[in-house]
Amino acid sequence: MNTRSLSNLSLYLLRLLLQVNFNASVLFVLIVSVFSMAGSELFFENSEDLYGPLANNLRFVLLYLCLMQLAVYGFYQFKNNYAGVVCLGAFLLLLIASLEFYGSVNQIEIDPNYQALFLYAGLSHLLYGGLCILRKSDG
C-alpha cells in the first residue's frame, strides 16, 4: 500500500514536471517565433543564402508554427484532449528531417538552432501528451 502511494506520488510529480516543461516549450516557441518574425537574429542566424527567392521562408514557417501552436494549445485547454498535443509533438520532430531536406534541396546551410528548437518542443509535447493519454486510459 505504501509503495502504491509512493508510485502515485512519483507519477504525479513526473506529470507536473512534464506539464511545466510543456508550457515552457509552448511559451518558448511563441517567443522565438515572434522574435524571428520581427527580424531578430537572437535565436537563429539566417545566413546570406536565405536572401533572394528564399528570403523569409523559415520565418514564415515559424509564423505558421506559432499559429498552429496557439490552435493546438487552445484545443488542449478547452477540450482537455491530448491527442493534438501528441500529434503536434510528432510533427515538430518530423520538421527536423524536413529542414535537412529543405537545406539540401536549396543548397543552403540551416542554423542548427532550428533543429534544437524542434527537438525540445517536439519531445516536450510528445512526452507530456503521451503520459496524459496513458493516465487517462488507466483511470
Which positions of the chain have pLDDT values less than 70? 1-6, 46-56, 138-139
pLDDT per residue over 31-49, tens digit each? 988 888 777 777 777 655 5
Q: Which residues contact 123 (CB under 8 A, 6 or more apart)?
A: 89, 93
The per-residue pLDDT for 97 is 92
The per-residue pLDDT for 21 is 95
The per-residue pLDDT for 20 is 95
3-state secondary structure of 24: helix
Q: Which residues contact 28 (CB under 8 A, 6 or more apart)?
A: 117, 120, 121
Whether 85 and 22 have beta carbons less than 8 Å apart is answered as yes
The per-residue pLDDT for 51 is 54
